[in-house]
Amino acid sequence: MTEVEIKEGPELDLAVALAVGDEPGLPFSIARAERGEEGFTYKQYSADLNAAFAAAEQVGLFEDGSYSCLLRSRATPSGNQWQVCRDIHHKFIVVGAGESPALAICAAILKLKLKGKQPHETTTRH
């Protein structure tokens, strides 16, 4: 399965906010948020590791008994990649990947929450 490349920015931040139920003020405008206009700001999940971990905590991404994921860095042919993985019977199953830890967490949240699937149904083996 080919992973979709995700990029840091307001579109990804808004998608994560909606996935975790942390909706920004409405009406929402990405252009106005990028300019930092009052009332149109939101957490920068894709750039801020603390915000990404807070979102992961909201959905139970790293908790036992929920998704039970871990975060790791792994060398790939195209360079270093951060991955959010599940350990299923001693095999790491990737549920999200990105160029930074925050992007990997965002990818995992979107894959698991927006698609409404369980981690074992949405993953690839690496």
Name the residue range of residue 45's domain. Answer: 10-125
Q: Is 75 contained in some domain? A: yes
pLDDT of residue 122: 39
pLDDT of residue 51: 94
Q: Is 93 contained in some domain? A: yes
Please tell me the distance from the alpha carbon of residue 95 to that of residue 119, in angstroms, as a whole number.
Answer: 6
For 85, the token pair is: 């993985």
- CA quadruple 1, 109, 10, 26: dihedral sign: positive
pLDDT of residue 27: 55
Q: Is 1 contained in some domain? A: no
Which amino acid belongs to residue 70?
L
Q: What pTM was estimated for this model as a whole?
A: 0.75
Mark out the alpha helices in 8-100 (DSSP H runs).
Answer: 10-19, 30-34, 49-59
- Mind listing the pLDDT tens digit of every residue in the chain (126 residues)? 445 578 898 889 888 888 888 765 555 566 666 666 666 667 889 999 999 999 999 888 888 766 678 898 988 888 889 999 987 887 888 999 999 999 999 999 998 886 664 444 433 444
Task: State how many domains the chain has.
Answer: 1
Q: Is 2 contained in some domain? A: no
Q: Is 4 contained in some domain? A: no
Q: Is 5 contained in some domain? A: no
For 80, the token pair is: 């270093």
CATH number (domain holding residue 73) = 3.30.2120.10
